[in-house]
Structure 1
Amino acid sequence: MTKHTVREGRFWHRRAELVYDDAGDGPLAVYAHGGFVSQAVEDRMGLWDWGPVLDAGKRLVRYDARAHGRSTGQAVDTDYTYPSLADDLLGLLDHLGATEPVDAMGASMGCATVLHAAVRAPERFSRLVLLIPPTAWTTREAHARHNLASADTIEREGVTAWLAAKSRQPRPAVVADVPEYPPTPADHVLPSVLRGLALSDLPSPTAIAALRRPGLVLAWADDPGHPMSTAQTLAQSLPHADLYVSRSRADIGTWGERIAKYLAQPANQSRPRSQPPPRP
């Protein structure tokens, strides 16, 4: 794998300074990470390998979401809804001077960010790579209630009590050995992040189908927070998309190569090879 220089950048957008890493040269691809982590934390978790994407000739920009990692943010619930986070992504594209459609990737909260940004401004995106899509539509209400209860716990008992309760909950077997890290949003902002996510849902399947953009959906099995139902609906709604499901940590390790191979194709030929439907 080639060693790629990483350049740090910063820009102000809606009362926050957002920090990003910019590596490689070539057509632009952007990535939005999951909730409560950061680029650095995801790297330490060892889930995604971005080397193959860079080696395939992409310019890869990854950024820390508002109030996550090195980026700043205020304790304002509505700053952390999916549409608000999508506005940050579009602001990043403006800052980067992106005049051509870009490939966009996102995991969990970042997946939702990418989808909302694409629905709002489809002309700015070429292909979508959606990693571990979060709860949505019929499964979202229970998740939202849990987030609201978590925000109340933090304000009443502190972050330590919330993390202790969280640690007692079972983890999906496929990622049971992945190290856990404290949330990166500051303690006083964390309840607002949770409440903003509780106010959120993915765009409707009808709105997603209207995107007419190809996509690759990458999911893992047996995770209530990232249920197969969301991934399957996204793969069915996007007109030119396919779903790949991993059932082991080792197989998740292939995602970087799969993404790189997908993005190396011409955009009008980016139809991933079909995988058999996942087992129930």
Structure 2
Amino acid sequence: MGRHAVREGRFTRRGADLVYDDAGSGPLAVYAHGGLVSPAVEDRMGLFDWLPLLDAGRRLVRYDARAHGRSTGEPVDTDYAYASLADDLLSLLDHLGTAEPVDAMGASMGCGTVLHAAVRAPDRFSRLVLLVPPTAWATRGAYARANRASADAIEREGADEWWAARRNEPRPAAVAGVPVFPPTPAERVLPSVLRGLALSDLPPPAEIAALRRPALVLAWADDPGHPLSTAEALAGSLPYAGLHVSRTRADIRTWGERVAEFLTRPSPPAP
């Protein structure tokens, strides 16, 4: 990752080998990526810039979610629900031997993962960065139906046919120029990943409101899969949250600096 050496690690949990990259040194921040991609694919997309965080003296661990990227997984729908993915994140912290609360960042599916983990074990986290929060609550139903239909289509017609149609769908202006890549989960697992995400939702707003942790919510505009209504609700529910909305690719490129500034502020008093 630029001038910072990257160390690969792995551990086994519930029959899956989970792989992560470990870079930099200093206080730990962990990152959970979005659905169907991986950190390596996000790097190829040029989506997020983590170099400012490493340059600021932070250790960054990014892991491949179950069945994504280099990690393995089985075709079990419930393994890919946010709550189960949160179990994997907490197990990663166990594997890393973290004694102090860590900063956690998550994009889309990773946002759901982080929130479920933080609600379940708030003392393990110090600050939260929630990137492009996904559909939630009232907006989740249509997304879930579309995911179940996609899973059925893949089983009926194959992943290549499904992906050929999906890759031409319109995208928000802020990310219209970002290259797209095929899903990283293998075809035998992909329908279960989609159905697991269809089973998922963010924790109830009342549980999120009890998370007395500083949070930064980063969103982009005009994306039905990541509606501003979710980002605004999270920023309004979390007691100590800030919200930034990007409408251009150039502004999204500032997210690395924004995250680095947020996570390197003096630590807030314990809640």
Report TM bin, short chain.
Answer: over 0.9
Work out whether 1:5 is the aligned partner of 2:21.
no
C-alpha distance in 2, partners of 1:4/1:247? 30
Q: Does structure 2 retain, via aligned residues, the 8 Å contact 1:101–1:123?
A: yes
Matched to 1:167, the amino acid is: R
SS at match of 2:192: helix
Corresponding position of 2:106: 106
Corresponding position of 2:266: 266
Corresponding position of 1:273: none
SS at match of 1:49: coil
Q: Does structure 2 retain, via aligned residues, the 8 Å contact 1:67–1:189?
A: yes
C-alpha distance in 2, partners of 1:213/1:25? 23
**Structure 1 residues 2 and 168 mapped into 2: Cα distance closer, same or farther (>3 Å)?**
closer
Q: Does structure 1 retain, via aligned residues, the 8 Å contact 2:67–2:74?
A: yes
Corresponding position of 1:215: 215
Work out whether 1:142 is the aligned partner of 2:142.
yes
Q: Which consecutive segments of 4 or more residues in structure 1 shift more than 6 A?
A: none
Corresponding position of 1:189: 189
Q: Does structure 2 retain, via aligned residues, the 8 Å contact 1:2–1:55?
A: no
Q: How does 1:242-261 map to 2 (within 5 A)?
A: 242-261=242-261
**Which 5+ residue runs of structure 2 have no aligned equivalent?**
none
- The Cα of 1:160 is off from its aligned counterpart by 1.3
Q: Does structure 2 retain, via aligned residues, the 8 Å contact 1:127–1:267?
A: no
C-alpha distance in 1, partners of 2:218/2:267? 18
Corresponding position of 1:168: 168
C-alpha distance in 2, partners of 1:215/1:239? 9
SS at match of 1:54: helix
Corresponding position of 2:236: 236
Per-residue deviation, residues 59-114 of structure 1 (Å, max 9, x unmatched): 10000000000000000000000000000000000000001000000000001000
- The Cα of 1:168 is off from its aligned counterpart by 3.3
Corresponding position of 2:79: 79
- The Cα of 1:2 is off from its aligned counterpart by 7.0
Per-residue deviation, residues 129-150 of structure 1 (Å, max 9, x unmatched): 0000000000000000000000
* Alignment TM-score, normalising by the size of structure 1: 0.95
Q: Does structure 1 retain, via aligned residues, the 8 Å contact 2:167–2:180?
A: no
* Alignment TM-score, normalising by the size of structure 2: 0.98
C-alpha distance in 2, partners of 1:176/1:28? 32
**Number of aligned positions between the proteins:** 270
CA-based RMSD: 1.3
